[in-house]
Chain A
Amino acid sequence: MADPTLGDQLIFWLLASLTTFFAIFTITRKNPVTAVMSLVATFFCLAGIYASLSAHFLAALQVLVYAGAIMVLFIFVIMILNREEVAPFSWRPLRVAGVLAGGYLLLKLIGLALGLPRGAPSVLPDDFGTVAAIGDVLFRDFLYPFESISVLLLVAIVGGVVVSRSHQKEVAAVEAAAYRHQIHEMAEHDYPGAPEAPTTPEGHH
């Protein structure tokens, strides 16, 4: 590929700045819903950048899965949970130090990146980034990882359900059993050796 055209540059800078802007917007919002919306916007911009990188399939996936599915999940959860925010930001020194360390890493990596040979990106085949091409690689070379990912998703589903399951029924059952035991002991105490009174077994109703 030759030097980037004006169009390419324009698209890049536009999308890049939008992405950055929305990303910063996301993490600085007090209202989680706003943050989610902003994140969705970030993802859209990123999808655009992917497309400019000839990653068509990934761009589509980004919108479908990330912006479509994951963010919807987020919104559901936000609506379930209470929204309270005493102090949104936590400026603890260690965390700030972590961010600064991250900034140091960023600078170093930028320096490294700038020093990389500015080779031209290679010539890409026509079907680079299309579904067919990726599917080809995916089902050929990466079959096992692909199947593992499926299993992973299954595990995630099951795990999610299990973790967020309500434990009300169990607690009630335990309490009922304890209560029944207590009654039995009182009966034994008052009338030792008396024959067991017929109890109506559960589940007959």
Chain B
Amino acid sequence: MTFNLRLIPLLPFLGAAILMLFGRKWKRDTVLLVAAGAIAGSCLVAFDAFFTALPQAAAAGGLHDVVGTWIAAGSLKIDLAFRLDALSGLLCLIITFIGFLIHLYSSGYMEHDPDYPRFFAYLNLFCGSMLVLVLGDSLPIMFIGWEGVGLCSYLLIGFWYTSNANADAGKKAFITNRIGDLGFLIGMFLLYHTTGTLNFRELTATATAAVGGSSGLMALSWLGAPVAFWAALFLFIGATGKSAQIPLYVWLPDAMAGPTPVSALIHAATMVTAGVYMVARMHALYLLTPGAMAIVAGVGALTALFAAIIGFAQNDFKKVLAYSTISQLGFMFAGVGTANFDAGVFHLFTHAFFKAGLFLCAGSVMHAMGGSGDITIMGGLRKKIPWTHGVFLVCWLAICGVPFFSGFFSKDSIIGGAFATEVFGQDVAWVGKAVGVVLMLAAFGTAFYMSRLYFLVFSGSETRASDEIKHHIHESPGSMVGPLVVLAIGAALGGFIGLPGGLFDHPEWNLLADRLTPVLGPEMEIAHTTEIGFMVASVVLALGGIGLAYLFYGGGYREPARKFAAAAPRFVQLVRDKFRIDELYDRTIIRFVKWLANQIFFFVDRILIDKVMVGLPAAIVDGFGRFARWCQGGDVQRYMAVFAIGAAVILYFATQPMHTFFSSPLKVTVSGLAVDVDAHRSSKPADRELDYSFEFDDDGKPAPPGTAPVAHHVYAKPGTYTVRVEVTDPNWGTSSTLKQKVEVR
């Protein structure tokens, strides 16, 4: 069923274009109107599509909009087309709605920034690209959006580009993304090569049909693994780049150099979730290879735990949230990696709300603290910025997984699903359990570091900052607080769309899973006891984490925290330095790449281009110039000498009977043992009388010369002979010889 889906990404793109062209001349209000209006428009269209049009079309594969054919080359045909089904529709809603809220927030946050129009132009551009990514009907269209959001991420992280650190952070994000994109491309190529299509519906159908088979996608490839495994793995490498998992997560903490709304939108709610979306979209492919799924789940779980540990020791507000994002993304990947696609997407949804809320609170707190994000000088802000505190409280409880807040439902379904999954088969079923255990540890860690953040910033009665900063502390303006409140409501209540109705024999209570079934398949079946057991365990872990944090940091730095820091200072420093992974990368990979680039630069640029390609033509032209200058030397006798030499040369060449330099123009036709030789140069009759003497390599006796250019000869025995024709000009006495090998049977 067709629907004008193209409007959804088109409106933000138009907004971006208009703002880039005219934004600088307009007033701030106009700029905001255009930008937020574009997003709001998209939001309305998305809502309309999702709630009114989609239900009727859900069974038929969702809403469809074909704009035109993009590539038609041979057997490759890619349409610029969009498809809105439950999965992409849900993400569209998230992107447009939260995007709209962040546009409103930015009007307050970026109020004093001179580059206001450029910011909104980039924000709109980002939203447009993300929508293309999500709505794309095929992998190449998704890749367009993929690249587009990478670009916007670079532009927005390095928004305040006058600072080297910001520019470097933008570069790091883009380059790390690019490395992942290589994996994405290879995965795409593998899929196209094997299945001949890149369209999602067709791929899903092909993958579903290939289950249990041994050809096509399941054909065995390197290391004995099927093609599907490698395609899935390479696509996942792309996802690790975009969604900041091990090993390509290093750009995300640095990306906090950008404005906070950017961090909220891109690095919390939308762009980083692109990887999860991609895996969910390709779920049929992943279901073919439990090996790849194990890798996805394993990497996700490990990342979740690893990032959580790093978060224990960070002193910058946004850095804590950055590692938290990495960690939560790990949860999502663990969810989709254990074939619990509904849970992964559910967590994506809830995370968007509470993480965006947390980031915007960070912006609010930093606004209050005069731009500083150092939590060591905060404290006691609970009374001073009450609205921000309220929102942060709600989002904090959500992320910790306190019951009935949104995070509780989503995180719990992931953990439960990890233990109960059967996708890995009976032999390696321990993978699921191992993933589950790691996730539980990570959940505990999440509760701990988020609570640490809460207590250090908001609890206590004293703010540890200097007096001048303390005087400056004030609540944010309404334009900033408004979106915060909306996000808090979402964080609080969002969980209710995914109620685990199955527990009470009312599976239809799980609205989300219901909607997603046509796309992602049926909800995972988890035994009631398992589910309830893990729910309880999650709550225990959450409360335990909060409690431990309270012990260490309730109301400020307390004794246990100081003792721990004193007891293991080197370990604490290591964790604070994010395990020095960046330094490791620098020493091993980056140094080598830089060296290689230098070598290439030296060889290609200095030698090949400068000396050879530029120098050589220059030298040739110079040589010609020198020669020309020599020719006109002014020495009359030189002129005459050249005259004479030239005349001699011309005479020589003009009197050759035939020119044999380039080719031997003997036309030899063989028929049996007879050979017809034609020494004509061209079809025109000869303008000179020439004598032809044919020699057929037979018995060494050349035939007597005659004036006929053609000759016929019959060989006695078959073999390979060389026919020689000597052409003489009787007037000038010059002659030339033509040769041709001929094979006679």
Question: CB atoms of A and B under 8 A apart anywhere in the complex?
Answer: yes
* Interface range, A side: 10 to 19
- A105, B641: Cα distance in complex, Å: 13
Contacts A95-B637, A108-B651, A108-B655; A115 near B731 (Cβ below 8 A): yes
Interface SS, A side: helix
Smallest beta-carbon distance B675→chain A, Å: 33
Contacts A95-B637, A98-B644, A99-B644; A105 near B733 (Cβ below 8 A): no
Of the residues B651, B731, B732, contact of A105 by C-beta under 8 Å: B651
B620 within 8 A of partner (CB): no
Q: Are A94 and B641 in contact (CB under 8 A)?
A: yes
Which residues on B sit within 8 Å (CB–CB) of A143? none
B638 within 8 A of partner (CB): yes
Smallest beta-carbon distance A107→chain B, Å: 10
Smallest beta-carbon distance B644→chain A, Å: 4
Interface SS, B side: helix
A112 within 8 A of partner (CB): yes
A192 within 8 A of partner (CB): no
Q: Are A102 and B732 in contact (CB under 8 A)?
A: no
Q: Are A112 and B641 in contact (CB under 8 A)?
A: no
B647 within 8 A of partner (CB): yes
Which residues of A from 89 to 147 have beta carbons under 8 Å from B?
A: 90, 94-95, 97-99, 101-102, 104-105, 108, 111-112, 115
**Residue of chain A at shortest CB distance from B648:** A101
Q: Are B733 and A102 in contact (CB under 8 A)?
A: no
Smallest beta-carbon distance A98→chain B, Å: 3
B730 within 8 A of partner (CB): yes
Smallest beta-carbon distance A112→chain B, Å: 6
Contacts A105-B651, A108-B651; A97 near B733 (Cβ below 8 A): no
Total residue contacts A-B, CB cutoff 8 A: 43
Q: Are B645 and A101 in contact (CB under 8 A)?
A: yes
Smallest beta-carbon distance B627→chain A, Å: 13
Q: Are B733 and A115 in contact (CB under 8 A)?
A: yes
Which residues of A from 51 to 110 have beta carbons under 8 Å from B?
A: 90, 94-95, 97-99, 101-102, 104-105, 108
Smallest beta-carbon distance B634→chain A, Å: 14
Q: Are B637 and A105 in contact (CB under 8 A)?
A: no
Which residues on A sit within 8 Å (CB–CB) of B733? 111, 115
- A191, B642: Cα distance in complex, Å: 66
Which residues on A sit within 8 Å (CB–CB) of B643? 98
Smallest beta-carbon distance B490→chain A, Å: 93
Which residues on A sit within 8 Å (CB–CB) of B651? 104-105, 108
Of the residues A95, A104, A111, contact of B732 by C-beta under 8 Å: A111
Contacts A98-B641, A98-B642; A104 near B731 (Cβ below 8 A): no
Of the residues A90, A97, A105, A115, contact of B730 by C-beta under 8 Å: A115
Q: Are A102 and B731 in contact (CB under 8 A)?
A: no
B632-660 contact mask (Cβ, 8 Å, vs A): 1 or 0? 00000110111111011101100100000
Which residues on A sit within 8 Å (CB–CB) of B648? 101-102, 104-105
Of the residues A97, A108, A111, A115, contact of B641 by C-beta under 8 Å: A97
* Interface range, B side: 10 to 19
Which residues on A sit within 8 Å (CB–CB) of B642? 94, 98
- A111, B732: Cα distance in complex, Å: 7
Smallest beta-carbon distance A114→chain B, Å: 9
- A200, B289: Cα distance in complex, Å: 119
Q: Are A98 and B645 in contact (CB under 8 A)?
A: yes
B650-690 contact mask (Cβ, 8 Å, vs A): 1 or 0? 01100100000000000000000000000000000000000
Q: Are A112 and B732 in contact (CB under 8 A)?
A: yes
Which residues on A sit within 8 Å (CB–CB) of B647? 101, 105
Of the residues A90, A101, A112, contact of B731 by C-beta under 8 Å: A112
Smallest beta-carbon distance B103→chain A, Å: 81
Which residues on A sit within 8 Å (CB–CB) of B645? 97-98, 101
Which residues on B sit within 8 Å (CB–CB) of A97? 641, 645
**Residue of chain B at shortest CB distance from A95:** B641
Which residues on A sit within 8 Å (CB–CB) of B637? 90, 95
Which residues on A sit within 8 Å (CB–CB) of B655? 108
- A104, B647: Cα distance in complex, Å: 10
- A112, B654: Cα distance in complex, Å: 14
- A39, B646: Cα distance in complex, Å: 28
- A95, B639: Cα distance in complex, Å: 9
Smallest beta-carbon distance B651→chain A, Å: 6
Which residues on B sit within 8 Å (CB–CB) of A112? 731-732
Smallest beta-carbon distance A99→chain B, Å: 7
Smallest beta-carbon distance B192→chain A, Å: 67
- A94, B641: Cα distance in complex, Å: 7
**Residue of chain A at shortest CB distance from B733:** A111
**Residue of chain B at shortest CB distance from A104:** B648
Q: Are B638 and A108 in contact (CB under 8 A)?
A: no
Which residues on B sit within 8 Å (CB–CB) of A99? 641, 644
Which residues on A sit within 8 Å (CB–CB) of B638? 94-95
The listed residue with most A CB atoms (<10 A of its CB), out of B637, B648, B649, B652, is B648
Which residues on B sit within 8 Å (CB–CB) of A95? 637-638, 641
**Residue of chain A at shortest CB distance from B638:** A94
The listed residue with most A CB atoms (<10 A of its CB), out of B640, B641, B643, is B641
**Residue of chain B at shortest CB distance from A116:** B731
Which residues of A from 15 to 70 have beta carbons under 8 Å from B?
A: none
- A64, B588: Cα distance in complex, Å: 100
Which residues on B sit within 8 Å (CB–CB) of A94? 638, 641-642
Which residues on B sit within 8 Å (CB–CB) of A105? 644, 647-648, 651
Smallest beta-carbon distance A105→chain B, Å: 5
Smallest beta-carbon distance A168→chain B, Å: 27
Q: Are A102 and B730 in contact (CB under 8 A)?
A: no
- A98, B638: Cα distance in complex, Å: 9
Smallest beta-carbon distance B486→chain A, Å: 92
Smallest beta-carbon distance B96→chain A, Å: 83
Q: Are B644 and A108 in contact (CB under 8 A)?
A: no
12 contacts between A and B (CB under 8 A): A95-B637, A95-B641, A98-B640, A99-B641, A101-B649, A102-B648, A104-B648, A105-B647, A108-B732, A115-B730, A115-B732, A115-B733
Question: 4 extra interchain contacts, Cβ-Cβ under 8 A, other than A97-B641, A108-B732?
Answer: A98-B643, A102-B644, A105-B651, A115-B731
Q: Closest 9 A-B residue pairs measured CB to CB?
A: A98-B641, A101-B648, A98-B644, A101-B645, A101-B644, A102-B644, A104-B648, A95-B641, A94-B641
